[in-house]
Amino acid sequence: MENVHLVPEDEDLYSGYNDYNPTFDSEELENDVGFQQAVRTSHGRRPPMTAKFPGTAIGARPLATSFGPRIPMTSSMGRPVTGAVQDGAARPMTAVRAAGYTSSLTRGSTFDPLGQSRGPAPALESKNEDTPEEKIKILEKKVNDLIEESCMAQSMGALQLALEKAKEAGRKERALVRQREQSGNGDHINLDLTYSVLLNLANQYENNEMYPEALNSYQVIVKNKMFSNAGRLKVNMANIYFKQKNYPKAIKFYRMALDQISNAHKEMRIKIMQNIGVIFVRMGQYSDAITSFGHIMSESPNVKTGFNLILCYYAIGDREMMKKSFQNLISVPLGVDDEDKYIPSNDDTNSNMVIEAIKNDKLHQMERDLKSLAEKFIMTAAKLIAPSIEASFAAGFDWCVDMVKSSQYVELANDLEINKAITYLRQKDFNQAVETLKTFEKKDSRVKSAAATNLSFLYFLEKDYDQADRYSDLAMNADRYNPAALINKGNTVFIRHDYEKAAEFYKEALRNDSSCTEALYNLGLSYKKLNRLDEALDCFLKLHAILRNSAQVMYQLAQVYELLEDPHQAIEWLMQVISVIPTDPKVLAKLGDLHDGEGDKSQAFQCYYESFRYFPSNIDVIEWLGAYYIETQFCEKAIQYFERATLIQPTQVKWQLMVASCYRRSGNYQKALDTYKDIHRKFPENVECLRFLVRLCTDMGLKEVQEYATRLKKVEKMKEIREQRVKSGREGSARSRREGREGSAGSAGIAEDVKTDSSHSSNSTKGERLSAKMRSLPASNEPYEASNQKELDASYMDPLGPQMERPKTGAKRRVEEDDFADEELGDDLLPE
């Protein structure tokens, strides 16, 4: 019993059985190399080890079989069992002990060679932010963040926010310096951070146009000897003086910066010298500017400086140097590769893919922009110096064309020829312009198409539509994809009222160039002529999306909405037109007409009054304003408008009659009588004027009444005789002519009658738009009628119409009869 180890009561007998040991994994035995080798060889037939693993249920107890407990052999009775557990500890296996393992395992312990059962590592100790070093680091980080935020705000256009961030960064940086001094680290000031803060603050001041503050900030940096390369900032200070138009000081600082920049920075020195030359041009010192630009062209030539040099020589009138400078300009190397390298080859697929990728990349776009800028400078310089370098501008253009043909800009020669023709047009020499353009008929298709397009447009402006049609066809044959040629062809068809065909040409121009606004506008006009208003509206809305502030497009939209009987939308679009061109009298008058049609008299009056203020000679506006004041019973104010109409149309008697009627209605009878007398002197055969004179003289008891009555009778008799002659002539011609000609003769007679009798001269269509008071003429039974019509017809018709009756405020109100007066009300209808 001494070798029997009893399990304590507080320990689990079966502890360790659930622990997984990969050695006993039977599913992976096929992949176990050691096991497969043991099976194939005698390695697996070794006797089992006698040692027992501690922690199992068979620790040191004898195995129990069906025959009872096993009796140990006699030879092994006196020998201790190898590997048996004695006194709770296992015997060390010295022969098979491996590294990292121990045999002194107690019951219930687990296999943990990596020590993972000890739990997680302790948390890191937090930094102590109360130390001076940590406070300084935090402040430095805040200053850097504020500088970055300021720069980001500037890049987004928030200049005021950028300035506020820069100021806050300056305050934080000064607090940082004080913190260092208090902690005793004053010698370790971060100069780079201080430089960044001051430079950013100066830049933000300059961006916000606070130039004195910016100059002070730059001065602080420049005067501090601890900042290296601070002298370059004098360029920034010179730029500020240039913006302030303080040119002498700007030149001084540019030269100071030039002295402090070494020759190693060649490009920067060239740019500073270019700025100095531009300032000399602003000051009018062209000789000094020529010196600066000439030095740049000798050191590092560029097209911009070459163009400026030509301008200086043009200003002083040096012909020879203009020619020489132009030759230098066209010989400036651009450093741009040939366009042929972007043409793909048919053999190499990889190279074609590379070419397709770089065809429209940023670098190629930059090259195209540089080339187009150079061409623009050359074209402008040629047009500028051509009239000055030779006796005539034609000879000067020819010299420029010859120079360009011998340079790398050969394709600009034809454009110069076309500019020559345009210069002829500006000089009103149309024949020379046409002759110059006609010389392109035998050249390549592109130039031929451009010249023919210009010729077609010229003939169209001269209303020679046949020639315009011919050259538009020529331009289309030379280049079918030329949108300008298609538009000219459509215009020639449009003018012949073939709107369907014109629309087809405009559509084709849009297919070739979707951004061609002229084609889209003309297409909308064609649809409007064809009464396809929805399609016209669609065209003008698309055009409005492209040209947001085009008054013509918005006016067309208003007209289309008016045709669609949507006056509210028409008014909205006209209001937008007024916001763009507030002084257009025609638009204001149209807006007033729409408001009048909607019944808004006050808005209509405002618009008509503004139109009259900007253009006081529009007879339609004057007519409306006069009618408005008469309708509102302000005849005195209507007089000034009708007097102005009299000045504009002195042969129209109706305006003078309206002036006299306004005087009469306002109670100024003497002034009305004088006005009627003046009208009678100018128009002695006017019946209406004589009738007014007879009636006024009768009412006022004047002696001239008999004289005017006699004249009235005589004029009416002459008028009756004239009408009889016209009638008899009309009847005689009816016998010998066809019925169709009778109408024409009758209209001629009526026209003659209107011409002789100016009293009925209200033949203008706009005059019919007066109010009923001005249009309607009273019948013979109206007031102011003579007592004896057989002897004298002295009745007259007031052109302003009858006066409005005064409201009878003192009249007794008529008692209305109540149909239910006799009815008796029941108790249920009486109020409770």
Neighbours of 437 (CB within 10 A): 26
Average pLDDT over residues 79-101: 50
The string of pLDDT tens digits covering residues 17-57 is 566 566 666 666 677 777 777 766 655 455 555 444 444 44
Neighbours of 539 (CB within 10 A): 27
Neighbours of 403 (CB within 10 A): 20
What pLDDT, on the 0 to 100 scale, is given for residue 503?
94
The string of pLDDT tens digits covering residues 590-639 is 999 999 999 999 999 999 999 999 999 899 999 999 999 988 888 888 88
Q: 526: pLDDT confidence band, cut at 50, 70 and 90?
A: very high
3 state SS of 505: helix
Bridge partner list, 85: 90
Query: CA 291, 297, 299: angle at the middle one, nearest 5?
Result: 100
What pLDDT, on the 0 to 100 scale, is given for residue 448?
79
Is the separation of the CB atoms in 604 and 592 below 8 Å? yes
Query: Is the pLDDT confidence value at 654 over 90?
Result: no
d(CA 660, CA 682): 14
DSSP category for residue 102: -
Q: In degrees rounded to 5, what are phi and psi of residue 502?
A: -60, -40
Count Cα atoms within 13 angstroms, Cβ side, for 421: 22
Joined together, the tokens standing for residue 571 give 């008014």
d(CA 188, CA 181): 9
Query: Is the pLDDT confidence value at 460 over 80?
Result: yes
Q: In degrees rounded to 5, what are phi and psi of residue 69?
A: -70, 145
The string of pLDDT tens digits covering residues 554-582 is 999 999 999 999 999 999 999 999 999 99
Look up the pTM and report it. 0.53
Ordered domains of the chain (ranges, CATH): 134-330 (1.25.40.10), 619-735+745-775 (1.25.40.10)
What pLDDT, on the 0 to 100 scale, is given for residue 672?
85
d(CA 250, CA 257): 11
What pLDDT, on the 0 to 100 scale, is given for residue 458?
85
d(CA 513, CA 526): 19
What pLDDT, on the 0 to 100 scale, is given for residue 781?
33
d(CA 457, CA 488): 7
What pLDDT, on the 0 to 100 scale, is given for residue 45?
54
What pLDDT, on the 0 to 100 scale, is given for residue 797?
55
Is the separation of the CB atoms in 279 and 247 below 8 Å? yes
As to burial, measured by CB atoms within 10 angstroms (0-12 exposed, 13-18 middle, 19+ buried), residue 276 is buried
Average pLDDT over residues 453-465: 88
Average pLDDT over residues 290-319: 91
Please give the helix or strand (H or E) that residue 90 lies within, else none: strand 89-90
Is the separation of the CB atoms in 505 and 536 below 8 Å? no
Average pLDDT, the chain: 77
Candidates 217, 274, 215; CA nearest to 249 is: 215
What pLDDT, on the 0 to 100 scale, is given for residue 332?
87
C-alpha distances in Å from residue 30, one per residue of 22, 26, 43, 46, 468? 14, 8, 17, 20, 97
Q: What percent of the chain has pLDDT over 70?
A: 71
More confident residue, 355 or 520: 520
The string of pLDDT tens digits covering residues 668-709 is 888 888 888 888 888 888 888 888 888 888 888 787 788 888
Candidates 136, 223, 216; CA nearest to 172 is: 136
C-alpha distances in Å from residue 534, one per residue of 511, 560, 564, 566, 574? 21, 9, 9, 13, 19
The separation between the first and the last C-alpha atoms of the chain, rounded to the nearest angstrom, is 122
What pLDDT, on the 0 to 100 scale, is given for residue 337?
67
The string of pLDDT tens digits covering residues 775-817 is 433 333 333 333 333 344 444 455 555 555 555 554 444 444 4
Query: Is the pLDDT confidence value at 651 over 90?
Result: no
Q: 449: pLDDT confidence band, cut at 50, 70 and 90?
A: confident
d(CA 410, CA 47): 104
The string of pLDDT tens digits covering residues 239-279 is 999 999 999 999 999 999 988 888 888 888 999 999 999 99
Q: 162: pLDDT confidence band, cut at 50, 70 and 90?
A: very high
What pLDDT, on the 0 to 100 scale, is given for residue 737?
57
- Contacts for 809 with CB less than 8 Å, ≥ 6 apart: none
Q: 11: pLDDT confidence band, cut at 50, 70 and 90?
A: low
Query: Is the pLDDT confidence value at 74 over 60?
Result: no
Q: What percent of the chain has pLDDT over 90?
A: 31
As to burial, measured by CB atoms within 10 angstroms (0-12 exposed, 13-18 middle, 19+ buried), residue 657 is buried
Is the separation of the CB atoms in 54 and 105 below 8 Å? yes
The string of pLDDT tens digits covering residues 174-231 is 888 888 888 777 567 788 888 899 999 999 999 999 999 999 999 988 888 888 777 7
What pLDDT, on the 0 to 100 scale, is given for residue 293?
92
- Contacts for 217 with CB less than 8 Å, ≥ 6 apart: 198, 199, 201, 202, 205
Query: Is the pLDDT confidence value at 8 over 90?
Result: no
The string of pLDDT tens digits covering residues 707-738 is 888 888 888 888 888 888 887 777 666 555 55
Is the separation of the CB atoms in 308 and 286 below 8 Å? no
The string of pLDDT tens digits covering residues 734-776 is 555 554 444 433 333 323 333 333 333 333 334 444 444 444 3
The string of pLDDT tens digits covering residues 495-520 is 999 999 999 999 999 999 988 999 99
What pLDDT, on the 0 to 100 scale, is given for residue 88?
47
What pLDDT, on the 0 to 100 scale, is given for residue 65?
42
What pLDDT, on the 0 to 100 scale, is given for residue 99?
56
Q: 827: pLDDT confidence band, cut at 50, 70 and 90?
A: very low
